[in-house]
Every structure is written in structure tokens, then in C-alpha cells.
A = this chain, B = another copy of it.
Amino acid sequence: MRTSIATVCLSGTLEEKMLACAKAGFDGIEIFEQDLTVSPMSPEEVKALAHRLGLTLDLFQPFRDFEGVEEEILLANLRRAEAKFQLMQRLGMDLMLLCSNVGTATIDDDKLFAEQIRRLADVAARYGVRIAYEALAWGKYVDTYQHSWEIVKLVDRENVGLCIDSFHILSRGDDPAQIARIPGEKIFFVQLADAPVLTMDILSWSRHYRVFPGEGGFELDAFLGHLVRSGYSGIVSLEIFNDVFRQSNVELTAVDGLRSLIWLQARTAALLGSDAQDYPLELDALPGAQQALGFDFAEIRTEDPELIAGMLAQLGFSFLGQHRRKPVQLWCAGNARIIVNSQRSRGVTATVSGLGVQVPDPVAGRARATDLLAKPVLRHHTRDEQELAGFRAPDATEVFFGSVAGTSLWETEFGAHRQAPEEAQRGGITGIDHINLAQPWQAFDESVLFYTSVLNLQARPGTEVPSPMGLVRSQVLRTEDGCVRLALNIVPKGLEAAIESHHEYPEHVALHTDDVVALARRAQRAGMEFLQVPANYYEDLAARFSIDERSLATLKELNLLYDRDEHGEFLHFYTATVGNMFFEVLERRDGYDGYGAPNAPVRLAAQFEHNRFDRH
């Protein structure tokens, strides 16, 4: 499938956008006219630069407010169009997007629309230009693809076809299935955009909130399936108006965009199954999908490994060994492995720097991640060390693929020959439950797509958590069975004096146990510093739930937090924050499947209180 992207998706100058698209690996670009108008590059330079970069110039857009007007305005519009056809000739371009009239149309008459577009087509033909007519969702008279298709049929010119944009169809709740009935050769261009499910006017939604496929709530695999069945064999492009993308790093956004099309093709191919072969649009497969089996490890980078070691010991972790070659320690408890790494740690008190996920076939998983443009992490390994396939996520977390069997291999690099599984002690750590990762504001959507595609996780609906620093947007990505769960938190820009960067918003590793009360008591005796929960919280708890007084006293004594859902109960505590991280220990009773969301504001406020002396 040939891929393209509209220059309006990206930040920077036209030249910077073109360089970034080529570097990411797009086949071509759409020239959004305003990007050219404000550029010092001549059309000839743009053409030559595209040629040098190997980019095709696929669509010149938008041409607006043409049809449905009085004759005098039409003549002016034809003159305006001809100037643009001349410009396209200098660019070496042959496809123009015509949007259905939004502003100037005064006559609602399909035959007139067709007649006027036919006149445009005749001028266009003289310049070898084809016209792709698109129904905008807020078009004055033409606002559905079915209607624009009726008009294209009435126009009946070889050089007039359709542009299909997923946003204009799905935002209205229109059924895209009839796209499959349009002859593919009359669809001249396809633009895909996803969007979060929002209830607002469509124009604002479209202009600010579009995201790349896979980052929103539209079923774009089914949508692309309908296009495949139409016999469409052209370019599939991205046209994303997004306030964040427009101000983010242009190269990262371009990679994010292409990743979305690679991922979408694979999902669409999977949806179509063997039928896909019957159609001309080639969907590249993405073999080697891995079902995550659990966390392999969490990695903490610290310049003070003794500090982390002390906390781990308080939580009941055992030191398994020092790496044979590197200043890296391995700590274990139950199935939870924590790597304490003091490399590249200058100035880093402690931070969650990486995580490993067990998959059936790490080699295949790595190949697939590479296909998804994941940026590899370079790690040296000697001949007798296990090779770890790692990638850098958009939030800078290092993500590694391992296997269940492989774990025993790399454990030996720590000189640790694991004993036969210890007698399971009640109230010990049993494993890693989830890892909570802070997201810089400009990386959130990209991270959602990265983790869902590369690690094959599902995005759950997001929530917002009030904190003294503002609302924290939070989204959980997880496997269906919950063996791997990530919580992504986008951090408010915050009190400027208090928060310099997202690194001051702590991340954490949540560990599960089968008896958090016993574990908390042991940790308390071992001198563990808990995050202090305010007394008011326990009074509110008593008002909300009927909890017997003795249980409430225990919760309060141990700084435990509590939640309940329709399945069961949830008890958890937080350690004090060290540097940029802390630990959570939790117990899920009777199938409670959440994360104690009602307690998150308590945690954030307590951490904010804890830092107050740093703030003032």
C-alpha cells in the first residue's frame, strides 16, 4: 500500500516537513496549499526537493467554495482554479482536492453542482489535472459521501472522481459500508483520520482533535476494508489536524504517522483474512504478533543503588546477584524481578527506566517491532550473554522482549542459579501487577499507539484524576487477561515553580501480593517509609463503605488504601517517593480488576504535601 501524509499534520517549515516525511519512510505527501504559500521555496524547488527525497507529490489541497454559486462568482472561481492548475503544473502535480462548498454556495441543485464541476474539469483537463471531490461533514449542501458520489456520476468526466476521508464519514455516524459499492477507479484519493470519541461540534472536533489511526475511537480497519472491497488501489494518506502534533517534533510525528498506517494495514489484512487477496490494494502484513505472557522485569536506573536495594529488601525482595560485567543488580520476589541499574545514572536519584515483557518468540517480536518503526536500544552482549531485543518508547522508556525460558538464561549472568521455587510464603510479593509511566504532553497519543501496536496491548477508556497540580489524564493499556498492564499518565504542565519537567512527576512499579496487610506489617517493622494517608480519607471511607471498625483501624494504622467494585475488594499502599519513583503494593480480592482510581487523588495530594518543603 502506498502511503502519504498531508503537510498540515506536521510542525515546522515545508522543507522540514518534507525531510521528516522522507526520513520516516512515506512514499509521498499531500501539499497543503498554505504550507506552500508561506514557504520561501519556489514550486520548482519543492518539485526538485521531492524528487531528490524520493517523495511523490500526491494531492494539492484544498480548493474550496467552488460550486453552487451564481455565474459571476463561478467565473471568478474558474480563474482562481486556473491559477492553481498552473501552480500544480510547476509542481509537477496532477491531482487536486475539491471540497464541497461550505461558505459561498447559494443554489442547492445537484445538476448545477455537476454542470459547474464539469466546467472546472474541462479547464483542469487542459493542464492534465484530475479533481477529487470530497464531501465535508459540514458542507452547506453536500455533506455525505453518497451525495458527492451522486454528483461525480452526474459530472461524468474521466478526470473527476471522489476523495474519501474517514473523519467526514465516521464523525457523522454515517455507515461506511456502501463505499465498497463505488467503483474503485472512481475513488481518486483516500485520507484516513482517527479521533477520540467526543461530543462536540464536528468542525472543532475535526480541526483540533484528529489523531492518527489507532490513537482514537474510530473503527478504521473496517473502514479500510470497505475501501479494499471497492477495488481502490491508490494511495492511502493521513490528514490529521491536531493541536499537539502541530507543535511537536516533526520527525517523531512523521514516524508516529507512518506507524499508524503500518499497524492499520495489518489489522485490516487480519480482518479481511484470505479475502484480501481478491483485491488490488496490497496490504502489507505484520507477521510475528506476540501475545504478552507477563512482565519479565522492571528496570530502575539509580545513582544510589543502596537506596533502592534497601527498599526492595523492606518489601521482601531477595538479592540474586550482581551482573558479571555491569554495575547492575538483580532482585527477586515471587515472579517479580527488579533490575537495579547504576549505569548512565549521574544525577538520577531513581527512575523507572525500562521494562521487559515475556512473549512466546522474542525474535519474531523484535522483527515486528522493527517493522513498526520502533527505535532499537543498543545493548552490548558478549557471546555467552543473552541478547535482549529492546526498543525506546516515545516516553523514553526502554522496552525489552524476553521469553519465559530466556529469563533463566539472563538470570545466570547475575551469577544466580535460582533455587527450586521457594515455598510460597503468604504475604510475599507474587509479581509485577502494573507499571505506571509518566508521559510528556506531546508524547501521549504516540505512546498509546506505540505500546498497543508493539506490545499488542488494548487501550482502555481514559480517566482524569484531580491533583493539586491539575488534572492528570490517565489511560490503561493491558492484555485481555491482565498479565501485562501499563498505566500511562499525561502530566499537567503544572505549577511552573514546582514542576520543571515531566521527570518530576513520579512513575511507579505496582507489585501484587496475596496478603497486603501481612506484607505492610512486615515492611513497617523493617522500617519502610510509607506514603502518609490523611485521616480524613479514612473518615470518608467509613461514610462510603460499611467497613467494620477493626478493619478500618488496620487500614489506618498501615496507611492502606481501599476500594471496592462489583466483583471484589482492593487494598494497596504506596512507599515514599525516592527521586522520580516509588513502589505500590496491592492485593486484588475476588476478581477486583481496577486500579483504585478513587484513591489516586489521595496519592497525588499526599505526594504533593510530601514535597512541600522542596517547593517553598
Chain A interfacial positions (CB closer than 8 Å to B):
8, 11-13, 16, 33-34, 36-43, 79-80, 83-84, 87, 198-201, 204, 208, 243, 246-250, 441-442, 466, 468-471, 492-497, 532, 534-537, 539-540, 542-544, 601-602, 604-606, 608-609, 612
Given A200-B201, A204-B198, residue A247 in contact with residue B495 (CB < 8 A): yes
In the bound assembly, the distance between CA atoms of A493 and B34 in angstroms comes to 22
Choose among B12, B43, B471, B605 the residue that contacts A38 (Cβ–Cβ < 8 A). B605
Q: Closest Cβ of chain B: how far from A9's Cβ, in Å? A: 12
Chain B residues in 8 Å Cβ range of A442 = 493, 496
| In contact, A612 and B13 (Cβ under 8 angstroms) | yes
Q: Closest Cβ of chain B: how far from A370's Cβ, in Å? A: 27
Which residue, A8, A12, A204, has most C-beta atoms of chain B within 10 A?
A: A12
Write the chain B residue with the least CB distance to A46.
B536
Chain B residues in 8 Å Cβ range of A11 = 468-470, 495
29 A-B contact pairs sorted by A residue (CB < 8 Å): A8-B466, A11-B495, A13-B468, A13-B609, A36-B536, A37-B534, A37-B536, A37-B537, A37-B540, A38-B534, A38-B601, A38-B605, A38-B606, A40-B535, A41-B536, A42-B536, A43-B536, A80-B544, A83-B543, A198-B200, A199-B204, A208-B471, A246-B466, A247-B470, A247-B494, A248-B495, A249-B496, A441-B493, A442-B496
Chain B residues in 8 Å Cβ range of A608 = 12-13
In the bound assembly, the distance between CA atoms of A12 and B608 in angstroms comes to 8
Chain B residues in 8 Å Cβ range of A602 = 37-38
Write the chain B residue with the least CB distance to A247.
B470
| In contact, B536 and A38 (Cβ under 8 angstroms) | yes
| In contact, A83 and B539 (Cβ under 8 angstroms) | yes
Chain B residues in 8 Å Cβ range of A466 = 8, 34, 246
In the bound assembly, the distance between CA atoms of A39 and B468 in angstroms comes to 10
Given contacts A13-B612, A38-B604, A246-B492, 12 further A-B contacts (CB under 8 A): A11-B469, A11-B470, A13-B608, A40-B606, A84-B543, A198-B204, A199-B200, A200-B204, A246-B470, A247-B470, A247-B494, A248-B495
Chain B residues in 8 Å Cβ range of A43 = 536
Given A39-B536, A492-B247, A605-B39, residue A12 in contact with residue B468 (CB < 8 A): yes
Given A80-B544, A248-B495, A544-B80, residue A601 in contact with residue B34 (CB < 8 A): yes
| In contact, A247 and B469 (Cβ under 8 angstroms) | yes
| In contact, A40 and B246 (Cβ under 8 angstroms) | no
Chain B residues in 8 Å Cβ range of A542 = 83
Write the chain B residue with the least CB distance to A540.
B37
In the bound assembly, the distance between CA atoms of A497 and B252 in angstroms comes to 13
